[in-house]
Structure 1
Amino acid sequence: MAGDDLKISRARFGRLLRKLRAQMGLTQQELSASSTVGQSTISDLELGKKGTQRDYVVLLDSALTAHGVLISAWDASFSEGGTSAYFREVAESEQTAIEIREYSLGLVPGLLQIEEYARGISMLARPRAEPESIDKIVAARRHRQELLDRAYPPAMTVLLDESVLLRRFHDPGIMDAQIQHLVKQSKRPRLRIQIVPLNTEGHAGLGGAFKIMEVPDTGAFVYVESQETGFVLKQPEVVASYERTFAELRSAALPVPESRAKMEEIRGDIR
């Protein structure tokens, strides 16, 4: 990780640790006593001065009753492989997000990908990559998905262009299983999956996929990604523009029950 990126990640992690400690009403000394992590280490972490070992993060997470939030943020920022440098801020923010709104034009969003699908698209995108590299990407994606199993995950609305479901792999069973997974996930109480039909006129989303995230103390930001890189956009007027586009797309999308039926229909055509 480049020096500037490392400093930024350490600062974000420090803010999260400080916020979680404040929510528990603990001083640094009290957190040190309950976690067995040195107070000087906690202070340096909160100030973004240094990194630490993952084992210490596990102890802090447990002492703060953070339910894995702190661990996930550390993994997203500092673990080896699996998460691109330009995506780290997004991966970190997912762990504390209040709401995630995502529109997908080409691929199933990472938080909803099954392992076979994630592996398939990763191999297509990186045909020369070593198997170990692909394994790390898939493992990182699977780790990100753990936030959906929390007692109170972020509220999510996912709009899928119908074309996403019509993609085919050399093994048709991959897409069959992926759609089956989407149908199952669509029944989660805080997750809405809606399909934007192919025949939608005046399509507001043809400019590309994007994700809008609402994060405490940070506000809303937009993430857009190309094949080789991604960008976080925080300018209020830009965020507002993407929010309007998302609202237009949602109004054009099928309601949740009809979206579920559409997914089952497409899945039936595969078999």
Structure 2
Amino acid sequence: MSHYLRSHETDTTAGSYDSPRTFYGAELRRLREDAGLSQERLSERVFCSPAYIAHFESCVRLPQEEISKLLDDLFGTGEHLQRLCLLARRSSYPDYFTDAADLETVATHLYDHAPQLVPGLLQTREYARAIYVATAPWMPDDVIEKHVQARLERQQLLRAPEAPKIWAVLHEAVLRTAFGGPEVAAKQLRHIADLARARRIVVQVLPFEAAAQGFMSGMARIMKFAEGPSMVYEEGTHRGNLIDDPALVARYQASYDLIRATALSPMASLEMLESVAEGYERS
């Protein structure tokens, strides 16, 4: 234990780590190597996949509380990793979305499948607010505004120098459901069209008549990284789930590829977006 404390104090004094997240990753790597364990062997000891360990050490993924406790027990480090985990996971997002929001900032590619709602990164303020009002009508206005603002702050990612390449497939139902009324819906569709015309995103629409040929149930996002394996985030009402099993991720990718092949071309999709927006503007 004395060696652990000396190492911990030396690293902190030297200012080698600029955040709890990077400190956690470096500490985990040091502890693992001191124990003579590979990422694969360590993952077996704490009942997770090797990808988890690789993502924690490289700071691609936020640490997990349950795994941090298992690691502390294994290495005999008290609650050291658990405390770092709590600091690293401070977030303005719902707990089920914290990891996904963090991962999108380090992804190189984001592939969205949206069967009901416009993906959060593409939403306007008015549309985002309308979603919260529709799904949680009892929520106070100040709480709604807090959630909406957090969503808009995520969109700074679109203007980042190394923004991920975003490809979104929207079911036609997304276009035809006027959350917030025709004016809000028209503005939302124009916003997506503007992003596509500026070549900041690629968007396709899956029309009603083609939906039976390419099908995925629920919102899903495939995330690719410069380092580490791809992951999938799927979301339902008030819940979300990250998937890193390579075989399952590959199946999601195959389903997404089929949907892209079935959907309208990007140009035809852009024309539909603008046509539906015009319809709302005339109503």
What's the TM-score once normalised by structure 2's chain length? 0.69
Counterpart residue number, 2:212: 202
- Rounded to whole Å, the distance in 1 between the matches of 2:206 and 2:102 is 28
- Rounded to whole Å, the distance in 2 between the matches of 1:44 and 1:259 is 43
Deviations 1:120-176 (A, max 9, x none): 001111111121211111111101100101223111110001110000235310001
Determine which of 271, 275, 278 is the counterpart of 1:261. 271
Q: How does 1:124-203 map to 2 (within 5 A)?
A: 124-169=134-179, 171-200=181-210, 202-203=212-213
Name the SS of the counterpart of 1:244 in structure 2.
helix
> Is the CA contact 2:105–2:157 (under 8 Å) kept in the aligned structure 1?
yes
Moved over 4 A (4+): none
> Is the CA contact 1:102–1:211 (under 8 Å) kept in the aligned structure 2?
yes
Instruction: Give how far 1:211 is off.
Output: 0.5
The residue type paired with residue 210 of structure 2 is T
> Is the CA contact 2:127–2:180 (under 8 Å) kept in the aligned structure 1?
no
- Rounded to whole Å, the distance in 1 between the matches of 2:190 and 2:173 is 16
2:56 is aligned with 1:46: no
Instruction: Give how far 1:109 is off.
Output: 0.3
Q: How does 1:47-62 map to 2 (within 5 A)?
A: 47-48=23-24
> Is the CA contact 1:147–1:153 (under 8 Å) kept in the aligned structure 2?
yes
> Is the CA contact 2:172–2:207 (under 8 Å) kept in the aligned structure 1?
yes
Name the SS of the counterpart of 2:112 in structure 1.
strand
> Is the CA contact 2:195–2:201 (under 8 Å) kept in the aligned structure 1?
yes
> Is the CA contact 1:106–1:163 (under 8 Å) kept in the aligned structure 2?
yes
Instruction: Give how far 1:257 is off.
Output: 1.1
- Rounded to whole Å, the distance in 2 between the matches of 1:170 and 1:229 is 23
2:139 is aligned with 1:119: no
> Is the CA contact 1:76–1:91 (under 8 Å) kept in the aligned structure 2?
no
- Rounded to whole Å, the distance in 1 between the matches of 2:273 and 2:255 is 23
Gaps in structure 1 of 5+ consecutive residues: 1-27, 50-69
CA RMSD of aligned residues (A): 2.6
Q: How does 1:244-255 map to 2 (within 5 A)?
A: 244-255=254-265
Instruction: Give how far 1:47 is off.
Output: 2.7
Q: How many residues align?
A: 213
For residues 38 and 125 of structure 1, do their structure 2 counterparts lie closer, same or farther at Cα, with a shift above 3 Å needed?
farther
> Is the CA contact 2:130–2:180 (under 8 Å) kept in the aligned structure 1?
no
Bigger mean CA offset, 110-119 vs 163-172: 163-172
> Is the CA contact 2:20–2:88 (under 8 Å) kept in the aligned structure 1?
no
Q: How does 1:3-14 map to 2 (within 5 A)?
A: none
For residues 127 and 188 of structure 1, do their structure 2 counterparts lie closer, same or farther at Cα, with a shift above 3 Å needed?
same
Counterpart residue number, 1:60: none
Instruction: Give how far 1:188 is off.
Output: 3.1
Name the SS of the counterpart of 1:92 in structure 2.
helix
For residues 264 and 92 of structure 1, do their structure 2 counterparts lie closer, same or farther at Cα, with a shift above 3 Å needed?
same
Gaps in structure 2 of 5+ consecutive residues: 1-9, 26-58, 63-86
Instruction: Give how far 1:253 is off.
Output: 1.1
Name the SS of the counterpart of 2:170 in structure 1.
strand
Name the SS of the counterpart of 2:237 in structure 1.
coil
What's the TM-score once normalised by structure 1's chain length? 0.72
Instruction: Give how far 1:90 is off.
Output: 0.7
Counterpart residue number, 1:92: 102
The residue type paired with residue 24 of structure 2 is G
Counterpart residue number, 1:78: 90
